[in-house]
Copies of this chain bind each other. A is one copy, B any other.
Amino acid sequence: MAEVNANYAKLPGSYLFSEIARRTAAFSEANPDVKLIKMGIGDVTRPLAPVVIEAMHAAVDDLARVETFAGYGPEQGYDFLRNAIAEHDFAARGADISPDEIFVSDGAKSDCGNIGDILGPNNKVAVCDPVYPVYVDTNAMAGRAGDYDEATQRWTNIHYMPTTAENGFSPAIPDETADVIYLCSPNNPTGTVLNADQLQAWVDYANAHGSIIMFDAAYERFIVEDGVPHSIFEIPGAKTCAIEFRSFSKTAGFTGARCGYTVVPRELERQDMSLNAMWNRRQTTKFNGASYVIQRGAEAVFTPEGSKQIDETIEYYRANARTIKDGLENLGLAVYGAVNSPYVWCKTPGDMGSWDFFTLLLEQAGVITTPGAGFGPSGEGYIRLTAFGDAGATREAIERIGKLSL
C-alpha cells in the first residue's frame, strides 16, 4: 500500500483569503450598489514596462523561426539574465555575487517552497509573527513544524518571533538555537524593514550558531531610505550563512508572467556539503528552467530604459502608499510600513479586533483590507492595506474611510 505524506493531514485549512472573499460576497449581495475598492490582495495592477513587452514580443518571434528557436535552456537560467542580475542587483550595490550563485526560476514562491528540499528534517525553524504563510506551511509539509495547536494558532516545533509596534517590528534574537531563520525585509505583511545593524546582528548570530538565514527580498525595489539593505549580501559575513529570494513580481509586475531568482553563495556550507551544489542538483533534477520568453522580458528590466520605466511604476505605487498612510494618520490611526514598501500596516482603533475593523471598513466604506490576525496571532489588532491599486480608487478609498468616525 502506497503511503502518503502524513504531515499534510496536520495542516489547518488556509482560510484567510477565502474567508475575506466569503464576507465580501455576502456584503455585496446585500448591498449591490456599493462599489467595492480592493486593498486586500498583494497583487500588482499596472501593465508591464514597454521595454519588457517589446523584449517578450521579440522572444516570442525567436520561437517562431528555426534559426532563433530556443529549446531547453539551462536549468539555472540563461547567462544573459544571470549576468545582468549579478551586475545590477548586486555589484552595483557593492555585493559580490557571481552569476553561478544565481538560480533563475518561475518565481520566489516556488523557491521559498522548494528550498526545504535541501534541508534535513530536524532543523529548528524560526519565523516572524505575523508571517507570509508559505514559510510555515512548507516546513510543516516537511515534518519540521511539529503539530498545529488550534488554541495558540501555532505549530509546536516552530519558534515564533513576534514583530509588533512594541519592538519596532524587529524580531528578537532567539534564546534557543534557531537553525533556519526566515527574514523578510521589506516585510510582508507589515511593510516594515530591517536596517543594516539589525541584519548584521542576525548574520553574526547565524554564523556563530551555524544557522541559515532565508532572506526574502521580494519587495526590495520599494526601499527609499538609506541604511536599509536591498540584499542581505550587503552585510559582511552573509555569504557563509544566507540564502536570498528575489522576485520580478513586485519589482516589475511579473506576478502573472512568472520570474524570480534565488542566490545561494558558494561559501555557504553545512556538514561539509555545499548548499550551492545541492541547490544546483535540486534544480537540475526537478526543474527545467524558467520560460525563455519570460527570461528575455526580465533581462529588459535591467536596461537603462527598463530601469526608468520600472521606477515610474514603483513610484505610482509609492504615491498610493503615501496617500493611504497620510489619510489614515490624519484620522489619528497609528500606521507602519508604507515608506519602503507597498504594504501599509495599520493599528486598529482602540482595542478593536482585526476582523472587526476589516468588517467595519467593508460595511461602512466599501473598502476591502486584510485582517492582520490572518498572518498570525501577533497580527491581531492590525490590518494590512496594499498600494497596488488604481490611484483614483486608492484616493477614493481613503476619502470614504475619512468620513467614518473611528
Q: Is the CB of A109 within 8 A of B286?
A: yes
Asked if A138 and B286 sit within 8 Å, CB to CB, the answer is: yes
Assess the A1–B210 pair: CB atoms within 8 A. yes
Q: For A288, what are the chain B residues with a Cβ–Cβ distance below 8 Å? A: 106-107, 109-110, 255, 258
The reply to whether A258 and B290 form a contact with Cβ atoms under 8 Å apart is yes
Structural contact, A292 and B118, CB atoms closer than 8 A: no
The verdict on A167 contacting chain B, using a C-beta distance below 8 Å, is no
Residues of A within 8 A of B (CB): 1-6, 8-9, 11, 14, 41, 43-48, 50, 53, 56-57, 60-61, 63-66, 69-73, 106-107, 109-110, 113-114, 117-123, 133-134, 137-138, 141, 177, 179-180, 209-212, 253, 255-258, 270-271, 273, 275, 278, 281-282, 284-294, 390
- Within the complex, what minimum Cβ distance (angstroms) separates A41 from chain B? 8
List of B residues within 8 angstroms of A109 by Cβ: 286-288
For A212, the closest partner residue in chain B by CB is B2
CB < 8 Å neighbour of A72 from B43, B46, B273, B287 = B43
The answer to whether B64 touches A47 (Cβ under 8 A) is: yes
Residue from B3, B45, B289, B294 in contact with A270 in the complex, judged by beta carbons closer than 8 Å: B3
- Give A118's nearest chain B residue, CB to CB: B5
Write 26 A-B pairs (CB below 8 A) sorted by A numbering.
A1-B179, A2-B123, A3-B119, A3-B122, A4-B120, A4-B273, A5-B278, A8-B281, A8-B282, A11-B281, A47-B64, A53-B64, A57-B60, A60-B60, A63-B257, A71-B256, A109-B286, A113-B286, A113-B287, A134-B286, A257-B292, A257-B293, A258-B288, A258-B291, A291-B291, A291-B293
* Chain B residues whose C-beta falls within 8 Å of the C-beta of A287 in the assembled complex: 106, 109-110, 113
Q: How far is the CB of A81 from chain B (nearest CB, A)?
A: 14
Task: Specify which of B46, B56, B107, B137 is in contact with A293 (CB 8 Å cutoff).
Answer: B56
With a cutoff of 8 Å between Cβ atoms, the chain B residues found around residue A1 in the complex are 177, 179, 209-211, 270-271
